[in-house]
Structures are given as structure tokens and as C-alpha cells.
Amino acid sequence: MDNSTIIDSINASINSLYSSLVNSFSSDTFEILDNITFINSDIINNKYFKSFLDDKSESILYIVNSLLIAFLIYYAISFLFSHFFGNTVENPLQFLIKFTICAICINFSYFICEQIINIFEIITNAIREYAFSIFSIDISFSYLSKQLDKLYLKEVLSGSALFFSFNGILQLFITFGFFNLLFTYSYRYIVIKLLILLSPFFILSSCLNSTKWIFKMWLKNFISMLSIQIIISLLLTIIISLKYSFDDSTIKILYIGALYTLMKASSLVKDFSSGFTTDISANISSIKNILN
């Protein structure tokens, strides 16, 4: 077997693996990406998560309500000793009002989280519906995948796509970009579920002045996480509208930048709110800074 035959065989194997990789993103994968990105009340009403809440929420609320009573006892002791040591404590009437509001919010914490999610869902749907009225297209990753089919995957399916080519490199970047989005938004989805599940504890922390910073951090992080889908809706509207302004060659390059922008959507929200980000390394660095 001569050298040219070996090289051709290697190229054929690489192109075959490459085509399999690009084709691995099916339409079902993009639908999953839509479901975990555009979050609605189903994240709480999901039968598996709801069954978990039905089994565990009473015990969680029982623990939190017990801690709430402990906070009340702590304040009473602090108020008593303040008369002997001259310590400054919160006004009793102010504390009791805050204590009562806190107790109500704790026992309706999951309902409150659901209503916050509904607000962001309404805003997100309003943006997508407005874009639909202009372009008559669905603003989603599923539709974006169809646009990519027209630009790239038709070459793969026809066997004309080569790994060692400009189009092949662009296709590879886009494929890995969507893998990155899938992992990033899956991580965001799990974190939001965790913030919802532990919401009674975070609301409890608002009862005392010394711990209310924990509640503020939770609220800011929860809202920041949900705000990402609004940014994504706007970005997808811009990305999908590109086909009306540029030719296919230019769009192929712009889609690379568009995917990079989508991956940085969390950073955009963080810049505005200084909240939680789906960048794992950034989160670890933030935690280290707090510990230091």
C-alpha cells in the first residue's frame, strides 16, 4: 500500500468521524435545549420534581419553621441582654412585623418562586411573539438548527463536507459551540431547581439583619439566572434575522460569533447584576474570594 492510499484512507476515516459528530445533534437535541433554556412554571410543576416536593417539602418547611422559632428566641435573648450591656438591637415592633412577613413567605416560598418564574416567562414570550409578528418565524434553537441545516448539514449529508476545509472547520466550531450551550444551560437549569428547593432557608435568612445578606444573594442570583433567557431571546432574534441581511458565506462566519455571544449570555447578565453566572470557573473563584 503506497503513501497516497494510506493518506486517503486516513482522510476518509477522519471525514467519516467528523460527519458522525456533526450529525449527532438531532432535532430532538435542539428541542431539549429550548426546554432547558426557556424556563417556565413546568420546572416546578414537573411531575417528578413536584412529587419530590410533595414528599420532602413538609419536612423542609418543618425544619425552617423550627429555625424561625429559634430566630425568635435568639432575638428575645439579644433584646433582653441589650438592657444590661447596652447593645443595639432592632426595634421589637419592626422585628415582629418582619418576622410575620418572613413566616408567611416561608410557607408560600414555592408559590412565590413560581410567580417570579411566570413573570420572566411572560417577558420572554412577549419578545418571541413580537419577533414572530415581524419575521413570521419561531425564535428558538429548533428553528436555528433548521437554518444551520440549510447552510452546513446539507454538505455533510451529501458527503461533500471535508474536515480539512474552511467550511469543515466552521461546522466543527458550531458543533462544539452547541455542545457548550447544552452543558451550560443544563447546569443553569439544575442550579435554578436547587435555588427553588432551598428557597425557604434563604427566605428565613432575611429575618435577621446579620443574615439578610444571604437572602439578598439568593434573590439576586435567582433573578439573574432567569434573566438569562430574556437575553437569549433577544440574541436569537438578532441571530435569526441575519439571514435577511447577509449572504450565505457571511452568515456562516457570523453564526460562529453568534454562538460565542450566546455562550457569554450569562456574563452579560453578570455585568449588569454582579449575580451568579453559569461559568463554573467564575463561580469557584467567587466562592474562594468570599472564603478569603
| Residue 97 burial class via C-beta count within 10 angstroms: exposed 0-12, middle 13-18, buried 19 and up | exposed
How confident is the model over 46-72, as pLDDT tens digits? 776 666 666 555 578 888 888 889 888
The domain of 274 spans 17-43+108-291
| Highest mean pLDDT, choosing among 23-27, 133-137, 242-246 | 133-137
Average pLDDT over residues 104-120: 91
Residue 163 pLDDT greater than 90, yes or no: no
Comparing 207-211, 251-255, 274-278, the range with the smallest average pLDDT is 274-278
Q: Does 102 map to a domain?
A: no
Task: Assess whether pLDDT exceeds 90 at residue 174.
Answer: no
Burial group, residue 159, by CB count within 10 angstroms (0-12, 13-18, 19+): exposed
As for how many domains the chain has, the answer is: 1
The pLDDT of residue 6 is: 56
pTM surpassing 0.85? no
Task: Answer yes or no: is 262 within a domain.
Answer: yes
Poorest-pLDDT segment among 69-83, 90-104, 135-149, 176-190 = 135-149
Per-residue pLDDT, averaged over 20-41, amounts to 73
CA–chain centroid gap for 261, Å, is 15
CA distances to 156, 181, 184, 249 from 216, rounded to whole Å, are 50, 28, 24, 47
Indicate if the pLDDT at residue 159 is higher than 50. no
For the chain, the first-to-last Cα distance in angstroms comes to 63
Task: Tell me if 87 is assigned to some domain.
Answer: no
Contact 168, 161 (CB under 8 A): yes
Cell representation of residue 131: 419577533
50 within a domain of the structure (yes/no): no
